[in-house]
């Protein structure tokens, strides 16, 4: 027997918890992943979003505990990315009469992914679908974060099925926000936003405006926990994150070959501390870039350091700066520093990469040959203090 959470009368979460996955296309998931799917039992039977293919059997077992999957009338595909749709071929075999409700963009994606023409019902903004007592209204959210993305709103119960938006990669055996540790949940929501939605922040601002017109009693994403007690908090955090509001926080992100750049990083951190600003140190040889990006979302300053290798920055720093460029962080000030041997290169390389990521160069960081002497160590400290004060005054 499997336990399916009931959101309201006749509305169930029948998705799967993937406790073991630790990597979601490069995003590290130390707390696992979930693929939520929602079953609405009314005069018409409707399933909102499916799961990743390896969990298709579990989805069907969960549905079967409530109704025969063959009775499903509608399958709403809010988003075609395979974590939600790759169970479709098996699901459609079990529910052959189901109509697939989807945006026009999603229809094309499904056909190309699975080579199948299902019985599609294409919807656009504001279209609705009556299930009997319940009415679904569709809210396309193009490029949040794929062209096909959409949310589905259940009018009578005021539940927003938001798909990726408001999600978290978070495995727990409970299903609702108030059943779990709130700070852990909010951190996972922040990490998810930073790594998945950050490049689309301007569109998130618009989406929040249109969703603001709805009365929302519950937000049921397709990853992680369902929001029913902390809706105000998550909506206001989404507003903060999407508008690029920052906290007085500076990240020192570096890698070091023989310890000189590391000595500089630590002394810069001391300078930041002396200036009274919160700061965190990440050595990229050992740090997870998804966690760094979660911190970057609301950080005001980013100081990058690297030893010079082959006239450029270390590959670990290049990887994280390249990842950042795609994520288009908002409202950050940066600087670069590092040690070199006979010729430099890393600092200029990092400055170019920071600019390419849309990060404004606030100051020129220290650079030095071989290992730092006492004067150079002091210069790192002063640089940290000055940078921190600029960030506090910004």
Q: Which residues are catalytic?
A: 25, 79, 81, 83, 145, 164, 192, 223
83 makes contact with ligand FEO (CB under 6 A): yes
Q: Which CB atom, from 84 or from 191, has the smaller least distance to ligand FEO? A: 84
Q: Shortest gap between Cβ of 84 and ligand FEO (angstroms)? A: 6
Contact segment (CB under 6 A) with ligand FEO among 78-86, 113-121, 311-319, 325-333 equals 78-86
When binding is defined by CB under 6 A, the residue of 84, 191, 300, 390 that contacts ligand FEO is 84
Q: Shortest gap between Cβ of 332 and ligand FEO (angstroms)? A: 25
User: According to CB under 6 A, which residues from 170 to 229 bind ligand FEO?
Assistant: 223
Q: Which CB atom, from 53 or from 363, has the smaller least distance to ligand FEO? A: 53
Contact segment (CB under 6 A) with ligand FEO among 81-89, 128-136, 299-307, 338-346 equals 81-89
Closest listed residue to residue 18, CA positions, set 62, 54, 44: 54
Alpha helices in 246-314 (DSSP H): 260-274, 289-296
Do residues 171 and 180 make contact, with C-beta atoms less than 8 angstroms apart? Answer: no
Q: Shortest gap between Cβ of 85 and ligand FEO (angstroms)? A: 9
Angle at 358 between CA 354 and CA 362, to 5 degrees: 60
18 makes contact with ligand FEO (CB under 6 A): no
DSSP string for residues in 341-385: SSS--HHHHHHHHHHHTT-EE-SPPPEEESS--HHHHHHHHHHHH
Question: How far apart are the C-alpha atoms of 145 and 165, rounded to whole Å?
Answer: 9
Give the SS3 label for residue 145: coil
Q: Which CB atom, from 145 or from 390, has the smaller least distance to ligand FEO? A: 145
Q: Which CB atom, from 35 or from 387, has the smaller least distance to ligand FEO? A: 35
Per-residue binding string, ligand FEO, 43-62, x by CB under 6 A, is --------------------
Question: How far apart are the C-alpha atoms of 234 and 80, rounded to whole Å?
Answer: 25
300 makes contact with ligand FEO (CB under 6 A): no
Q: Which CB atom, from 49 or from 58, has the smaller least distance to ligand FEO? A: 49
Contact segment (CB under 6 A) with ligand FEO among 76-84, 107-115, 229-237, 359-367 equals 76-84
Q: Shortest gap between Cβ of 81 and ligand FEO (angstroms)? A: 4
Q: Which CB atom, from 18 or from 349, has the smaller least distance to ligand FEO? A: 18
Do residues 219 and 211 make contact, with C-beta atoms less than 8 angstroms apart? Answer: no
Q: In which region does residue 343 sit, left (phi positive, over 0), alpha (psi from -120 to 50) or beta (all else)?
A: beta
Q: Which CB atom, from 118 or from 200, has the smaller least distance to ligand FEO? A: 200
Cα dihedral 335, 339, 340, 345, rounded to 10, equals: -10
Do residues 327 and 194 make contact, with C-beta atoms less than 8 angstroms apart? Answer: yes
79 makes contact with ligand FEO (CB under 6 A): yes
Angle at 326 between CA 323 and CA 332, to 5 degrees: 85
Contact segment (CB under 6 A) with ligand FEO among 79-87, 258-266, 330-338, 373-381 equals 79-87
Q: How far apart are the first and last CA of the chain?
A: 57
Question: How far apart are the C-alpha atoms of 200 and 205, rounded to whole Å?
Answer: 9
For residue 7, CA distances in Å to 18, 38, 170, 262 come to 21, 9, 19, 51
Give the SS3 label for residue 224: coil
Contact segment (CB under 6 A) with ligand FEO among 80-88, 259-267, 274-282, 334-342 equals 80-88
Per-residue binding string, ligand FEO, 155-174, x by CB under 6 A, is ---------x----------
Residues that bind ligand FEO (CB under 6 A): 79, 81, 83-84, 145, 164, 223
């Amino acid at each position: 027997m499997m336990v399916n959470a009931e959101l309201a009368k006749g509305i169930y979460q029948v998705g799967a918890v993937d406790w073991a996955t630790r990597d979601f296309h490069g995003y590290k998931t130390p707390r696992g992943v979930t693929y939520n799917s929602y079953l609405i039992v009314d005069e018409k039977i409707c399933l909102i979003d499916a799961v990743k293919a390896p969990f298709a059997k579990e989805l069907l077992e969960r549905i079967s505990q409530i109704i025969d999957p063959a009775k499903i009338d509608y399958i709403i595909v809010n988003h075609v990315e395979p974590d939600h749709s790759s169970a479709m071929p098996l699901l459609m075999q079990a529910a052959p009469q189901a109509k697939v409700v989807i945006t026009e963009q999603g229809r094309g994606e499904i056909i190309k992914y699975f080579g199948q023409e299902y019985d599609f019902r294409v919807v656009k903004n504001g279209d609705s679908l009556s299930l009997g007592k319940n009415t679904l209204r569709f809210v396309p959210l193009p490029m949040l974060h794929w062209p096909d993305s959409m949310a589905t709103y259940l009018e009578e119960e005021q539940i927003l099925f938001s798909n990726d938006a408001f999600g978290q990669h978070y495995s727990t055996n409970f299903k609702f926000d108030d059943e779990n540790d709130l700070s852990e949940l909010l951190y996972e929501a922040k990490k998810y936003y930073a790594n998945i939605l950050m490049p689309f922040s301007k569109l998130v601002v618009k989406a929040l405006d249109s969703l603001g017109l709805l009365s929302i009693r519950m937000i049921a994403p397709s990853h992680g926990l369902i929001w029913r007690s902390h809706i105000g908090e998550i909506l206001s955090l989404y507003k903060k994150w999407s508008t690029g509001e920052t906290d007085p926080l500076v990240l020192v992100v570096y890698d070091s070959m023989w310890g000189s750049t590391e000595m500089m990083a630590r002394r810069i951190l001391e300078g930041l501390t002396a200036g009274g600003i919160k700061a965190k140190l990440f050595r990229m040889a050992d740090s997870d870039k998804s966690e760094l990006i979660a911190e970057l979302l609301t950080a005001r300053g980013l100081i990058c350091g690297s030893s010079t290798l082959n006239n450029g920055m270390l590959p670990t720093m290049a990887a994280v700066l390249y990842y950042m460029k795609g994520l288009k962080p908002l409202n950050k000030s940066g600087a670069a520093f590092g040690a070199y041997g006979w010729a430099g290169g890393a600092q200029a390389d990092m400055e170019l990469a920071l600019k390419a990521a849309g990060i404004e160069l606030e100051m020129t960081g220290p650079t030095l040959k071989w290992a730092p002497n006492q004067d150079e160590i002091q210069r790192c400290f002063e640089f940290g203090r000055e940078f921190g004060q600029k960030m506090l005054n910004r």
